[in-house]
Structure 1
Amino acid sequence: MLLQNLASKEGKQVVGHNIQSWAKHRRHCGSSQEHGARHYSTERGPSSQLREEWAREHVKDLSNKQKAKKEARAIDKDFFMSVLGSSATKREAKSYIQRFTPLKDPSPATKPPVDIALKPQPARGCGVNLGGFYGPAAVEESPKFVQQPEKRTKISVRPQLHVALVKLRAPQTLNDEILNGIGRTLSQLGRLGLISVVVVDSQDGLKPHKADANWRAQETKQANRAVAAIDASGESGARLVDNIIGVYEEASKQGFRQHPTHVTLRNLLMTPLRRGVIPIIPCVGYSDITQTAIPVSATDVVLALTRELAGLPSELMPDEDPNVVRERLQALREEVSLDRLIILDPLGGIPASDQPSGYHVFLNMEQEFEAAKADLQRDLQLEADEAHVPRQNKEIHISDPGASNPFSFLEVEFGGPQSSAESLPQQETLGDAKSGNIHHLQNLELVRRVLSILPPSSSALLTTPEEAANSGKDAPFQAARVGTRRQRNPLIHNLLTDKPVFSSSLPMGRLGGQTSVKGPVSPAESTTPTTFAKHGMSVTIFPDPKVAPWTPPVPGQPYLTLTDSRIDLARLVHLIEDSFGRKLDTQEYLERVNGRIAGVIIAGEYEGGALLTWEIPPGMKDDGSPESRARMVPYLDKFAVLKRSQGSGGVADLIFKAMVRDCFPHGVVWRSRKTNPVNKWYFERSRGTWKLPGTGWTMFWTTPELSMDKQLFLDYEGVCRGIEPSWADNKAILD
């Protein structure tokens, strides 16, 4: 994009200079032809000298133009090399390029010729111009010079716009440096193919502004600060769009006014997006009845924009043709892809009391939403107890998602009739430590609602404004203890990889620590609370460890088998064979594992899974005695992910987290071929490894060091040496 802009700018300068040169040439020639007289001479006259001078200047200008193109191409190459360098794997970089590279135009044979002067410029921000990064730049469509060009009868198909919906909370608390850093990051996202729509949330409380005569001026001021911050980046522009949010005012049965918001002037939103300009939208709505300005919550604005950009119909007006509306929405869905919700909140990501980091690194909304919500509500309950609030009839909840306007504000009950967040103590509505969980609940519920509207490929990212403003300066961030790495901007990294900055299944000890003026800082304290969320998939565990923990089998009691009606054996076998790329001897495998299965973990519709067993160490009798049961080793027999789901979607992380946190929190062991490319992933998540001498296997375990003794280590080694593979090719050692 930068290359195109520079080339266009240089081209205009050359054209302008050429016109001036021709005009000068005509004036000089006209003065030498007084009264129609013509002079002929074989000597070099002024006209000849002028032509040579003009030719030299023209060649110089063309040289400068080519130089500018080369410099712009080098700048583009450096930029994309730097940002793609933050991608963890080549597969992720390839996936990003395939998704965000603009579609090629239709075949030239099917296109009518277009006059070059009337040819529209490509829309900025709707694709990635990689310049010379993957080869020399080439003009895909050369202009055709014809005497009578035909007129276009159809609108040319634009590349699909990839859009991120950004909610910026409390910008009034940010200084200009941080705000400019956010503007620079959003501009870089635009260069990488993801154009933003920014909702500025400058409200102090949980509800829209109270009776404040200057509320609209405050909203406009903060929105203009965001515009100036993006304009200051010099890479893309921003525009204040403050008149597109409409409000249906209807009396509700509860006796108060509801404000369901919607987008009224769609073209005012889409026009800047098509030009690569970032719309900045304050929380100002306009009544459909009185046409007066109304303060609306940022959550309602975000949901209204989500429905509009996703192509979902709002309330159909009586005078609208349903067919026209359907065609309009279908065209919008083809033109726009709302890929991400980004919430920049001073509080950062969603906290979690059961996570070592103190917050959710990755939220699988399908599986973890209710637990995360209950965790926040429990903290609010404790805060209320500390504030000496009477316990009777006390309940904290979020509005019913099925209501017509469930996200206007958070509702809280304290032993009385329903009241809004305004009834809370003032210090609990300004985002301090105690009221933070209320904002977290709002953010969590907003993420759930937005992702439920969008396709499964969409995602959400919650982080702090400070983290979004960082430009990748060197910092002592360490992953897997492999030395210092460049500090990653979570927004840029998430765009390139569709993953969090570090894996959710990565132990905190693998992140390393930082050093401050006060001394060493723990990994949990040094990591910024950033949460990456997806609609995700369900994780089913047989048997359910929440009902009863997994224990070694007891003789005479029923045990789980792979032929259990709750397990689809055919799909499980297909999953294993697709993941390993080998045929399984199903009958032999069933004979080996049935009777010692500890449990099965299934992700989604058999997109991934793990099969765990109880194994007897060599030399130990399997007689069901307490001694033999105490020595049984929890063993990860199969860990499989469909090839199409490998490296994306966090399927492997979901399974591994379920295994080590829910099923075997005290440790599990497994083995892998020494040449297995997945070993790097295993190394980062295990607590110890051992290359088994004389074999082609590496042993991994997650058992805490304090629980690891010599006998347990020998039992682990014996089991890993003794397991016989059950592949159809009957190859025992895969070296």
Structure 2
Amino acid sequence: MLSHSAHVPHFKVGGASASFKAFYAKAKGLRKLDPDYDHQELTPTPSEREFILSVLRANPSLRDAKAYIASFGIKPKPVPQKQQPTQKQSTQEKSVIGIPQTATATEQKTEFVLQAQTSPIIASILDPVCQRTALVKLQGPFTDRQLDSITRGLIYLKKLGLVSVIVVENEDLTRGEDGDREEIVAETMRAVKSLERQGAKARPIVSPIARLGPMDENEVPKGYDIPEAHTFPSDLGLIRSAIQAGDIPVLAPLALDSFCRTVRIEANDVIGALARGMTEAAAESRSQTPQSSDGGHPEFSEEVDLTPLRLMVINREGGIPSYARFGLPHLLVNLTSEYSFISETFQDSWRETHPTALKNLLLARTCLAYMPPTSSAIFVNHRSPSSLIGNLITNKPAVSSSLPHALLQGDRRLTPHTPTLLRRGVDVRVVRTVQDIDRAKMTYLLEKSFGRVLDQEAFYKRLEYHLDFVIVAGDYAGAAIVTTEPLQNTDSTSEPSPDSHLPITYLDKFAVLPSHQGDGTVDFLWVALHDESYGLGHPFSVNPNGGKEGHGEGRDLVWRSRANNPVNKWYFERSTGYLRVGEWVLFWCDAEARLKIEEGRRGSAGLRFVEKWEEGRVQAWADVVMKIPSSWKK
């Protein structure tokens, strides 16, 4: 709820619009690199219009666009040190491309190569687009129309630089029955024909890539399952050659057993083997890739980086149902801290509606253990193929899990078909005493995150008197420090707040290491903060974050931020209200359980922006919070 004295923010779309223009210009530029591109065809086809709309719906932020280009954009070449021109060269007449007219053919070629290395335009023409890979499970059965919708989305991903390595599965085909191999090969060919109907080149791989049986347990995280199949780098030649030729590889879930017989196995086992095998093959290729003479970026190479960046499960079930959302899907899953809890709270009724959800949950956990930390998995219903583009560009869930639950409940995007995004994640724990804080790691985290030098003695001494709790993500990859501040008496003539006797629950610091910004740690940390403060007593807060797990009474959470802090837009979206106080902005989140009760009391009258007693409450907060000393050295 916003105070009458608060300045209602005016959200400009310039930043998002500018970032999208840059992103679309990039996509358009990639399209023009296609040798089959017709420069005379200026009017987009219906398929191209749909592609553009899919990108628009993703609404990438500037950070999202930068992250996308960092993964899929053209890799910059090192700028060579150019020799100082002689006096004779400096006085020569130059042509339109900057080459001396009297230069020899060899000199002209050398000069052109130098310009290619220093000019972004020339480099973008010579340097191929960076193609990355995704592991995709097509979990049918699907009708031809449904299959065409799915493959169209996968083709859009390829246009954006993500090549799908598809493994086909059909849940209606029982393994072990006569003719099961022929049936699954026929399903594989259906997927290939669907891709070709959409104008893509696809290559069926119906010979076994994987070998039956697990590999050794080396480098497998403790407690993780080992895939029941494996591959060696030499087994991936067909996949590598298909991608190099511009084809989308489509695999049947087949493997060689110990007697060199071809058998049909579960698609999950094939995908698990590919996740490990492709990651190891990519690492081996990088170690053998020749570097440039000055030790910089590798020279031009046709090698394909097989490291999978995404795992996509496209099925009829959609995301994983959540106990806290009354059966609607989880939005974002932290596999490190939530895997066991989701399995334990999976209701029996969901085993009928989502029969493969837990098996796919295990698949995501297995694959992401081998894939890069920034990778993610997405479970999506076949009705939402455009969600794959949004996931590729932003690497975020369709709806942020850290938004206020009142907004989530009214968001039309939150439906039974909303995708579930899964991350490897980090463990989350709650620390309640200063003695349990690793001061060296906490100091490093705060200074790296804020870019300032912490006044350690004063900061930790203040925590000894005021600390309420600290939420730590991973090995101090992120932290939320919450203190208790005594509420001062005020001379306000406004009605006293019902909880005016309670101290202020103050968010003193919220920090995430730059290396973990974009991997989901920010959302995981804020959700845990919600569960431990203003979300207490709410069914959404029963999460295994090492804290109170929903038990207790919600408390209003208050914090401040500099008015010019670029993170404020993110805070605006997650706060109940805010107040501008000089060069600061005071934010707060009301206890959700109390808001729910208040809303029920008023019925159809709804909630007013502000009650009289709230005016005094907000002013009392400002009086206390604005006097809290700085934690930084000047």
TM-score, normalised to structure 2, is 0.69
Quote how far apart the aligned CAs of 1:694 are. 6.7
* Distance in 2 (alpha carbons) for counterparts of 1:591 and 1:667: 25
Do residues 493 (structure 1) and 457 (structure 2) align? Answer: no
Do residues 659 (structure 1) and 529 (structure 2) align? Answer: yes
Quote how far apart the aligned CAs of 1:644 are. 4.2
Q: CA offsets, 1:269-298, max 9 Å, x none? A: 22111122111112233445253x422111
Do residues 192 (structure 1) and 63 (structure 2) align? Answer: no
Quote how far apart the aligned CAs of 1:97 are. 1.0
Q: Please, which of 356, 366, 378 is the counterpart of residue 439 of structure 1?
A: 356
Counterpart in the other structure of 2:151: 183
Go from structure 1 to structure 2 and tell me whether the alpha carbon gap of 1:204 and 1:592 turns closer, same or farther (over 3 Å shift). same
Do residues 97 (structure 1) and 69 (structure 2) align? Answer: yes
Quote how far apart the aligned CAs of 1:226 are. 1.1
Q: Secondary structure in 2 aligned to 1:347?
A: coil
TM-score, normalised to structure 1, is 0.60
* Distance in 2 (alpha carbons) for counterparts of 1:67 and 1:312: 41
Counterpart in the other structure of 2:218: none
The answer as to whether partners of 1:618 and 1:718 remain within 8 angstroms in 2 is: yes
The answer as to whether partners of 1:361 and 1:503 remain within 8 angstroms in 2 is: yes
Go from structure 1 to structure 2 and tell me whether the alpha carbon gap of 1:652 and 1:271 turns closer, same or farther (over 3 Å shift). same
* Distance in 2 (alpha carbons) for counterparts of 1:651 and 1:259: 31
* Distance in 2 (alpha carbons) for counterparts of 1:609 and 1:139: 40
Do residues 642 (structure 1) and 513 (structure 2) align? Answer: yes
More off after superposition, 100-109 vs 654-663:
100-109
Do residues 308 (structure 1) and 291 (structure 2) align? Answer: no
Quote how far apart the aligned CAs of 1:355 are. 4.0
Counterpart in the other structure of 1:233: 198
Quote how far apart the aligned CAs of 1:577 are. 3.4
Q: CA offsets, 1:515-553, max 9 Å, x none? A: xxxxxxx775x363311111122222113xxxxxxxxxx
The answer as to whether partners of 1:183 and 1:231 remain within 8 angstroms in 2 is: no
Go from structure 1 to structure 2 and tell me whether the alpha carbon gap of 1:721 and 1:305 turns closer, same or farther (over 3 Å shift). same
The answer as to whether partners of 1:190 and 1:276 remain within 8 angstroms in 2 is: no
Q: 2:459 corresponds to which letter in structure 1? A: Y
Counterpart in the other structure of 1:201: 169
Go from structure 1 to structure 2 and tell me whether the alpha carbon gap of 1:716 and 1:490 turns closer, same or farther (over 3 Å shift). same
* Distance in 2 (alpha carbons) for counterparts of 1:327 and 1:136: 31
Counterpart in the other structure of 2:630: 727
The answer as to whether partners of 1:575 and 1:642 remain within 8 angstroms in 2 is: yes
Q: CA offsets, 1:389-426, max 9 Å, x none? A: xxxxxxxxxxxxxxxxxxxxxxxxxxxxxxxxxxxxxx
Counterpart in the other structure of 1:610: 480
Q: CA offsets, 1:287-311, max 9 Å, x none? A: 45253x4221111111222232122
Do residues 215 (structure 1) and 244 (structure 2) align? Answer: no
Go from structure 1 to structure 2 and tell me whether the alpha carbon gap of 1:222 and 1:210 turns closer, same or farther (over 3 Å shift). same
Q: Please, which of 209, 221, 233 is the counterpart of residue 245 of structure 1?
A: 209
Counterpart in the other structure of 1:632: 503
Q: 2:308 corresponds to which letter in structure 1? A: L
Spell out the pairing of 1:322-401 with structure 2 (5 A cutoff).
335-355=305-325, 358-376=328-346, 379-380=347-348
Quote how far apart the aligned CAs of 1:344 are. 0.9
Do residues 678 (structure 1) and 580 (structure 2) align? Answer: no
* Distance in 1 (alpha carbons) for counterparts of 2:362 and 2:369: 11
Q: CA offsets, 1:662-681, max 9 Å, x none? A: 44421332233444332221
Go from structure 1 to structure 2 and tell me whether the alpha carbon gap of 1:137 and 1:465 turns closer, same or farther (over 3 Å shift). farther
Q: Please, which of 450, 456, 467 is the counterpart of residue 384 of structure 2?
A: 467
Do residues 597 (structure 1) and 467 (structure 2) align? Answer: yes
Go from structure 1 to structure 2 and tell me whether the alpha carbon gap of 1:619 and 1:356 turns closer, same or farther (over 3 Å shift). farther
Q: CA offsets, 1:607-648, max 9 Å, x none? A: 22111112221129xxxxxx99962232212222234444x1
Counterpart in the other structure of 1:714: 616
Do residues 280 (structure 1) and 246 (structure 2) align? Answer: no
Go from structure 1 to structure 2 and tell me whether the alpha carbon gap of 1:90 and 1:260 turns closer, same or farther (over 3 Å shift). closer
Spell out the pairing of 1:504-653 with structure 2 (5 A cutoff).
504-511=401-408, 513=410, 524=414, 526=415, 528-543=417-432, 560-561=433-434, 564=435, 566-619=436-489, 631-646=502-517, 648-653=518-523
Q: Secondary structure in 2 aligned to 1:308?
A: helix
Quote how far apart the aligned CAs of 1:165 are. 0.4
Counterpart in the other structure of 1:552: none
Counterpart in the other structure of 2:589: 701
* Distance in 2 (alpha carbons) for counterparts of 1:4 and 1:574: 44
* Distance in 2 (alpha carbons) for counterparts of 1:259 and 1:636: 46
The answer as to whether partners of 1:339 and 1:458 remain within 8 angstroms in 2 is: yes
The answer as to whether partners of 1:585 and 1:728 remain within 8 angstroms in 2 is: yes
Go from structure 1 to structure 2 and tell me whether the alpha carbon gap of 1:645 and 1:265 turns closer, same or farther (over 3 Å shift). closer
Counterpart in the other structure of 1:48: none
Go from structure 1 to structure 2 and tell me whether the alpha carbon gap of 1:720 and 1:369 turns closer, same or farther (over 3 Å shift). farther
* Distance in 2 (alpha carbons) for counterparts of 1:327 and 1:644: 24
Q: Secondary structure in 2 aligned to 1:502?
A: coil
Spell out the pairing of 1:84-233 with structure 2 (5 A cutoff).
86-103=58-75, 140=125, 161-170=131-140, 172=141, 174-204=142-172, 209-211=175-177, 213-233=178-198
* Distance in 2 (alpha carbons) for counterparts of 1:721 and 1:542: 28
Quote how far apart the aligned CAs of 1:464 are. 0.8
Q: Secondary structure in 1 aligned to 2:449?
A: helix
Q: Unpaired runs of 5+ in structure 2?
A: 1-29, 82-118, 215-226, 290-302, 491-497, 537-553, 599-610
Q: CA offsets, 1:145-185, max 9 Å, x none? A: xxxxxxxxxxxx98764110001112x2x222221111111
Q: Secondary structure in 2 aligned to 1:435?
A: helix
More off after superposition, 239-248 vs 454-463:
239-248
The answer as to whether partners of 1:243 and 1:286 remain within 8 angstroms in 2 is: no
The answer as to whether partners of 1:633 and 1:715 remain within 8 angstroms in 2 is: no
The answer as to whether partners of 1:636 and 1:668 remain within 8 angstroms in 2 is: no
Q: Please, which of 299, 305, 324 is the counterpart of residue 268 of structure 2?
A: 299
* Distance in 2 (alpha carbons) for counterparts of 1:348 and 1:210: 27
Q: Secondary structure in 2 aligned to 1:505?
A: coil
The answer as to whether partners of 1:346 and 1:465 remain within 8 angstroms in 2 is: yes
Counterpart in the other structure of 2:107: none
Q: 2:389 corresponds to which letter in structure 1? A: I
Counterpart in the other structure of 2:84: none
The answer as to whether partners of 1:311 and 1:329 remain within 8 angstroms in 2 is: no
Q: How many residues align?
A: 500
Q: Secondary structure in 2 aligned to 1:311?
A: helix
* Distance in 1 (alpha carbons) for counterparts of 2:632 and 2:356: 57
Quote how far apart the aligned CAs of 1:138 are. 7.0
Go from structure 1 to structure 2 and tell me whether the alpha carbon gap of 1:350 and 1:82 turns closer, same or farther (over 3 Å shift). closer
Counterpart in the other structure of 2:32: 3
Q: CA offsets, 1:555-598, max 9 Å, x none? A: xxxxx23xx1x212233233333333444433333443422211
Percent of aligned pairs sharing the same letter: 28
* Distance in 2 (alpha carbons) for counterparts of 1:76 and 1:106: 35
Quote how far apart the aligned CAs of 1:77 are. 12
* Distance in 1 (alpha carbons) for counterparts of 2:521 and 2:176: 45
The answer as to whether partners of 2:472 and 2:479 remain within 8 angstroms in 1 is: yes
The answer as to whether partners of 2:281 and 2:306 remain within 8 angstroms in 1 is: no
The answer as to whether partners of 1:161 and 1:337 remain within 8 angstroms in 2 is: no
Q: Secondary structure in 2 aligned to 1:227?
A: helix
Go from structure 1 to structure 2 and tell me whether the alpha carbon gap of 1:730 and 1:692 turns closer, same or farther (over 3 Å shift). farther
* Distance in 2 (alpha carbons) for counterparts of 1:78 and 1:138: 30
The answer as to whether partners of 1:699 and 1:717 remain within 8 angstroms in 2 is: no
* Distance in 2 (alpha carbons) for counterparts of 1:340 and 1:603: 23
* Distance in 1 (alpha carbons) for counterparts of 2:317 and 2:390: 20
Go from structure 1 to structure 2 and tell me whether the alpha carbon gap of 1:690 and 1:84 turns closer, same or farther (over 3 Å shift). closer
The answer as to whether partners of 1:183 and 1:232 remain within 8 angstroms in 2 is: no
